[in-house]
Amino acid sequence: MPELRIAVGSDHRGVGVKERIIEQLRKLGQQVIDAGPSSQDSIDYPDVAADVARRVSNGEMDRGILICGTGIGMCIAANKFPGVRAAPCHDDLTAELSRRHNDLNVLCLSADMLGERLIDRMVEIWLNTEFEGGRHARRVEKIGALEVQNAAALVNDQKGGCS
């Protein structure tokens, strides 16, 4: 497994899971940044999702892992950043196919609905699965083109351009 730079963050509900994942990643020889929080005091998940997603988007980190109650809120916030492909995974197959077919670079997990052994397995599968490329690369490129197209449309709308 290649050494990756991985940012890991959670909301207050996912702190325990986040700490377990960080420990696991370090044991597997990965470079890890803890994007917080460090306590179970209530926080707003979009803040942590933005921190991790921004680091992946700008290339500072190769991948990210986000944990909240369901994984869904983190996913929504992370996908607002260019080049980020985030999805909630809930079993071995979704963890594998998210990498193989979608080149997922931000794994979103549920702190409330997944057991420790399943999470450990999913993280390892997600780390070890390579992007398949081929027809999947064409589709991922189309997703990137949609990001660029929609960002340009937004800029034009803000400048009073054509609608």
Q: Which of 12, 90, 101, 136 is catalytic?
A: 101
47/51 Cα distance (integer angstroms):
6
CA pair distance 75, 85, nearest whole angstrom: 9
Among 11, 13, 21, 94, smallest CA distance to 49 is for 11
Query: Which residue in 12, 68, 75, 136 is the catalytic one?
Result: 68
What is residue 103's DSSP assignment?
-
- Give the single-character DSSP code of 14: G
Question: Would residue 162 show up in a list of annotated catalytic residues for this protein?
Answer: no
Mark whether 68 is an active-site residue.
yes
Residue of 48, 54, 56, 5 whose CA lies nearest to 26: 5
What tokens does 40 get? Answer: 């179970």
CB 112 within 8 A of CB 74: no
Catalytic residues: 68, 101
